[in-house]
């Protein structure tokens, strides 16, 4: 055993302690560098995430302020007007797609109380179940949603009557498809897609719009179900007699060409109401006007109630100063409620 001076041993211990301190300091420095690297990495990742969020929000905001684009032909006022013979008022006969020609301004708003461009009949009869004869042309305006069950009930009770009046030229009907029940179809947005399909028909085959509108209600799904998919909507339209430019309509349905337009029109009437009627905010469907007067219906619907309202609203309109003679109800031989 080597005997070492006590001072040398003390110096050796001090050196070891100093070396240990240095190693500890180096370890702490390395740990701090690792922590700083992790922190910088996290901050960089957070910045990337924030940039991505800002980008997504910006896209959403940009899309939200972008115009909905041109609407379908023959729906310049948001609705399509159907006149005598169930033909679209002011419609061209050859539009296959594109912007097309605008509908006649004679029936652009729900509040128009004058006559439409369809030639009025001096004495025209509605449906055979007991409609009344109406002199002059009455303008019926309807805001409807193809998923709305109450709209379906109104359609069931009154379609034949309205069809008879319009076919004969006694009335025009202006149909505004909107989509207030878009979130009531398990995420498929059926209400919006169905209204888009109707708009596609208005653009490319306007004279078949009334029939397509009727078919959409004949196949109306229940609320809170998925509804018809796009292939079923295409099949429904294709099954309507006389449909024109089916290829263009099918592409329009698949691409949801007018979905943004329908959405914009829906938001507009929900926020600003119906021009010319005094209704400042549309709160539900169906919302129906006859010569600008709102039909405050009772449930369940009856055709007798609606027929009475049509004659009363038309008569009071003409009595207020319109040059067209007031419609005079003349019950048919079978004046039942229908």
The answer on pLDDT for 253 being more than 70 is yes
CA dist 116 and 120 (Å) reads 8
The answer on pLDDT for 232 being more than 60 is yes
Question: Could you read off the pLDDT of 54-74 as tens digits, one per residue?
Answer: 554 444 443 343 446 789 999
As given in the structure block, the two tokens for residue 228 are: 């018809």
Q: Supply the DSSP symbol for 185.
A: S
The answer on pLDDT for 122 being more than 80 is no
The pLDDT assigned to 331 comes to 35
| Structure-token match 């149909």, residue found | 175
Question: Could you read off the pLDDT of 8-22 as tens digits, one per residue?
Answer: 666 677 777 777 778
CA dist 213 and 194 (Å) reads 10
What is the rounded average pLDDT for all residues in the chain? 78
Percentage of the residues of the chain whose pLDDT score is greater than 70? 68
Which residues on adjacent β-strands are paired with residue 143? 176, 287
pLDDT band at 92 (very low <50, low <70, confident <90, very high): low
CA dist 242 and 210 (Å) reads 12
The pLDDT assigned to 126 comes to 37
The answer to whether 103 and 293 have CB atoms below 8 angstroms apart is: no
The pLDDT assigned to 257 comes to 98
The answer on pLDDT for 107 being more than 80 is no
Tally of residues, the chain: 338
CATH of 80-319, one of 3.40.190.10, 3.30.2020.30, 3.40.30.10, 3.20.20.210: 3.40.30.10
Question: Could you read off the pLDDT of 123-169 as tens digits, one per residue?
Answer: 333 332 233 334 468 999 999 999 999 999 999 999 999 999 999 99
Tell me which long-range contacts 100-105 makes (C-beta under 8 A, separation of at least 24).
100/72, 100/73, 100/74, 100/203, 100/204, 101/73, 101/74, 102/73, 102/74, 102/76, 103/73, 103/74, 103/75, 103/76, 103/77, 105/76, 105/77
Residue ranges of the domains in the chain? 1-66, 80-319
As given in the structure block, the two tokens for residue 161 are: 């009557």
Strand locations in the chain, DSSP E?
80-83, 87-88, 138-144, 171-177, 287-290, 293-294
Of 8-12, 111-115, 158-162, 229-233, the poorest mean pLDDT is in 111-115
Of 70-79, 87-96, 263-272, the poorest mean pLDDT is in 87-96
The pLDDT assigned to 81 comes to 97
The pLDDT assigned to 165 comes to 96
Is 293 strand, coil or helix?
A: strand
| Burial class (CB within 10 angstroms; exposed 0-12, middle 13-18, buried 19+) of 18 | exposed
The pLDDT assigned to 16 comes to 78
CA dist 258 and 295 (Å) reads 29
273: left (phi over 0), alpha (psi -120 to 50) or beta: left
Sign of the Cα torsion 41, 47, 50, 56 reads: negative
The answer on pLDDT for 247 being more than 80 is yes
As given in the structure block, the two tokens for residue 24 are: 């500890």
The pLDDT assigned to 330 comes to 37
The answer on pLDDT for 4 being more than 90 is no
């Amino acid at each position: 055993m080597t005997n070492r001076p006590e001072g040398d041993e003390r110096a050796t211990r001090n050196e070891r302690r100093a070396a240990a301190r240095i190693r500890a300091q180096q370890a702490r420095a390395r740990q701090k560098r690792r922590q700083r690297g992790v922190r910088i990495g996290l901050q960089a990742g957070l910045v990337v995430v924030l940039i991505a969020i800002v980008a997504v929000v910006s896209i959403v905001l940009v899309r939200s302020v972008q115009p909905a684009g041109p609407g379908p032909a023959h729906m310049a006022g948001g609705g399509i007007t159907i006149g005598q013979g169930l033909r679209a008022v002011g419609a061209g006969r050859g539009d296959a797609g594109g912007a097309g020609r605008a509908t006649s301004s004679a029936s652009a708003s729900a509040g128009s109380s004058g006559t439409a461009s369809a030639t009025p009949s001096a004495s025209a009869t509605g449906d055979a179940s007991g409609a009344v004869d109406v002199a002059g042309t009455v303008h019926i305006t309807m805001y409807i949603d193809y998923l709305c069950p109450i709209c379906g009930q109104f359609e069931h009770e009154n379609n034949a009557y309205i069809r008879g009046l319009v076919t004969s030229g006694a009335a025009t009907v202006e149909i505004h498809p909107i989509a207030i029940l878009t979130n009531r179809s398990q995420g498929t947005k059926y209400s919006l897609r169905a209204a888009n399909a109707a708009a596609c028909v208005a653009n490319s085959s306007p004279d078949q719009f009334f029939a397509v509108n009727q078919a959409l209600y004949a196949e109306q799904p229940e609320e809170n179900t998925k509804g018809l998919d796009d292939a079923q909507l295409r099949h429904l339209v294709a099954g309507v007699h006389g449909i024109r430019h089916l290829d263009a309509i099918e592409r329009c349905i698949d691409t949801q060409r007018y979905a943004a337009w329908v959405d914009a029109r829906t938001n507009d009437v929900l926020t600003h109401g119906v021009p010319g009627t005094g209704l400042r905010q549309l709160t539900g469907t169906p919302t129906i006007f006859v010569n600008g007067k709102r039909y405050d219906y009772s449930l369940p619907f009856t055709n007798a109630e609606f027929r009475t309202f049509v004659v009363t609203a038309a008569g009071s309109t003409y009595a207020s100063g319109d040059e067209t003679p007031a419609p005079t109800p003349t019950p048919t031989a079978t004046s039942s409620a229908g």
